[in-house]
Structure 1
């Protein structure tokens, strides 16, 4: 479970209902009691339930969760329902709905990718980058986890990943062994990942023995070539594939034998359709 603070939840709600619901107020139905039901229109993975429920709770409501995040449901399944005054329900309706729609979309895309690569290798992992849509990173993290994915990097502060843009600022940009040795000395608790831009870099990179070599935008044939070089070296370095990995090609890349797939594609998935019905009680 990811904890969302009161401030974060308030920010979501205030973005839409910063001065209440003008329509509900003008119609004079604020005090009318009603039931609000959220349904997933199509079958698939569910995400965003915990956050949507917390949003409604912030409005003084007591939502009932029928499904937990990470579950696959049939079309028309009720996810959440809640009773209360119209002014409360309408203040939370769209915000909760949008959270559910976007999170379910990300989770579904992630789940599809995971299923594709794990049909080839049950140990394969889909890990999502920190390149989420600005302002959505925590929601994205929750949705990816609900989709059965992993988080590649939540931010800059927790993992070592050397890009070419790092190496260009070093005195000897191509001295792979020096980079790896320095990182092992200065950050002994962290695994070391070095990104390779071209297949020509692999032979020397393998000699430096980082924990992971991340292959950026490599073709399938280039990944196979890199696998062969690694096998000949006898090193225990792991290969990961990043850049352009998505729902349409993940299975093909999994056929190469690589088990770690780095992607940002789920963040830009189409939202799933969540139907919301409000009825009087």
Structure 2
């Protein structure tokens, strides 16, 4: 985490006149941070960055992606009382939010892995402005795939691109960008999937296609000798309830916006354990 990022979070939380923490005598103190429920933890590095900024000594036995049980102590802290209180909410917000994402991702990965040893469960760009990279790293901590971090990572030709210029012209323009970038094309029919594959797309996204339609499209690509030349991604309307059906289709990637925007925060807490006189 960059110092400028930490300072922006601190500015948001402390404001211009911290009248809450400064009423406390600023003496050495110790604290613990613990989880109140089972989870896949994430946000360890972000919390450490915040503690370091405030001059707090932080010890942990865990790393992102570890499985925690209710009551596990994530951090043991030593530092000034005021600093610990100022770091409390910011660090807990990151740990709670990111652990929630990692926990939901792990649940989805477990479902998918029952039916495919190779399928990837990926997030999307449906993220919280300003903290996308942290949310996507939390997906990785849960065993998922981060997909694109931003529009520069790969060329994705979506439905609106196609409406504006057509699949063929869009792929032609995409090829003019760097040779290092993959080209992904979003389609809604088997016919367009075949067309995009024949034009040399690297990834075909089957958007809002039901599992039976996904299977049929893959079968058609197989029949035309095109399946091995492309990655197949299923996206749109995929939930915990129908994830199993998509995992059985033979796709390479299942992308789910809900990994981030529908994750539930994990309940973590900070407790002063031994204020020193």
What is the TM-score with the length of structure 2 in the denominator? 0.91
Gaps of 5+ in 1: none
8 Å contact from structure 1 (residues 21, 90) kept in 2:
no
Query: Aligned pair 1:277/2:275, yes or no?
Result: no
The 5 Å alignment of 1:108-123 reads 108-123=103-118
CA distance in 2, matches of 1:267, 1:20: 33
Residue of structure 1 in register with 2:73 after alignment: 78
Query: 1:179/1:259 Cα in 2 relative to 1: closer, same or farther (>3 Å)?
Result: same
Say which SS state the counterpart of residue 277 (structure 1) adopts: strand
Residue of structure 2 in register with 1:245 after alignment: 238
CA distance in 2, matches of 1:31, 1:186: 56
8 Å contact from structure 2 (residues 161, 170) kept in 1:
no
Say which SS state the counterpart of residue 75 (structure 1) adopts: coil
Greater Cα offset, 247-256 or 191-200: 191-200
CA distance in 2, matches of 1:253, 1:32: 56
Residue of structure 2 in register with 1:141 after alignment: 136
- The one of 10, 31, 45 equivalent to 2:7 is 10
- The one of 174, 196, 202 equivalent to 1:211 is 202
CA distance in 2, matches of 1:224, 1:239: 11
8 Å contact from structure 2 (residues 190, 220) kept in 1:
no
CA distance in 1, matches of 2:252, 2:67: 24
CA distance in 2, matches of 1:47, 1:126: 17
Greater Cα offset, 99-108 or 5-14: 5-14
Residue of structure 2 in register with 1:105 after alignment: 100
The 5 Å alignment of 1:157-168 reads 157-168=152-163
Report Cα offsets for 1:200-240 as digits up to 9, x if no partner.
Answer: 53343343241111011111111111111111110122211
Query: Aligned pair 1:263/2:256, yes or no?
Result: yes
Residue of structure 1 in register with 2:89 after alignment: 94
Query: Aligned pair 1:54/2:45, yes or no?
Result: no
CA distance in 1, matches of 2:14, 2:149: 30
Gaps of 5+ in 2: none
